[in-house]
Amino acid sequence: MSVTCMFCANPANSKEHLWPKWVHERRDFGPLKLTRGSSTTTIIPDSQVTVRAVCRTCNNGWMSQKLEVPNIPIVGSMMQDLSITLDRDQQRTVATWCMKMAFLTDWTRVGGRQKRFYTRDETLAFAADLSIPPRTRIWIGHITTSHLSTDGHDFELLLASTRTRIGISSTVTIVVGHFVAQIVTDHVVPDHSDLNPEMKPGPGPWDSKLIQIWPIEKEWVTWPPRASFTNGGREGIGYLLRRWRTGKQVNQII
């Protein structure tokens, strides 16, 4: 079956690396574990996973020049555990790269879903001028040990006053070396589009472990943050993965 590029009308005739080649050039992460649904786990011997989601024109053109090339020295430094200070332009640069990773994670997710979360309008707008979807928030953090992972889930977006379901929130968490990022986008149904709800995370030391880079709040931010995630235990990365599990998880986008 023919698949259309997520960013344009061309056929998806290019195998895009889920994690860019420059990431693998900096470290061999070894076999990966792929979980389908809640129980079926597959071991992938080669961590250089590719997905047929984009066309050659997008992959070798603007995606390379506007996303990968500018982020190699920035995300590359953080994944290798090098401290760095980001100005407003650099925060946006990292945020757009994280958004691209969220789009790819959404594309590849499995487990009962009948429709991708991000809309065609959102991916086309991103391709046009790197517009990050409305109602999107992005944070970055640090993990003490080096890993490679991506995790995505969708949850109910409830109106706090009445607990009425007014939309869906999608959460994507990526770990690349020592660099951690979390992307959250809220989709509100048209009947409630005049509201401005935001899904709230569960309690945790988020202010000390995460730095918000989108929407941009500060002229300068310094990475790593004051506190780090660990591979397990009370400070484990698993708490970040469960940060937004305050509502019911949903498998079908409404």
Helix (H) or strand (E) holding 155: strand 136-159
CB 169 within 8 A of CB 199: yes
CB 55 within 8 A of CB 10: yes
Q: What is the mean pLDDT of residues 129-145?
A: 96
**For 87-97, how does the pLDDT look when each residue is reduced to its tens digit (9 = 90+)?**
999 999 999 99
For residue 243, the number of C-alpha atoms closer than 13 Å in the C-beta half-sphere is 27
Nearest to 187 by CA among 122, 103, 96: 122
Encoded tokens for 39: 């129980």
Residue 26 has pLDDT above 90, yes or no: no
Asked if omega into 197 is within 30° of 0 (cis), the reply is: no
Burial grade of 107 (CB within 10 A; 0-12, 13-18, 19 or more): buried
Q: Which residue has the higher pLDDT, 192 or 59?
A: 59
Instruction: Tell me the pTM.
Output: 0.88
> What are the residues facing 136 on neighbouring strands?
185
Q: Which residue has the higher pLDDT, 115 or 176?
A: 176
**Could you tell me the CA-to-CA distances from 227 to 9, 172, 209, 211 in Å, in that order?**
44, 21, 5, 11
Neighbours of 36 (CB within 10 A): 12
> What are the residues facing 185 on neighbouring strands?
136, 170
Encoded tokens for 82: 């090098």
> Which single residue is written with the structure tokens 């079956």?
1
Q: What is the mean pLDDT of residues 169-196?
A: 86
Residue 12 has pLDDT above 70, yes or no: yes
Q: How far apart are CA 123 and CA 145, in angstroms?
A: 33
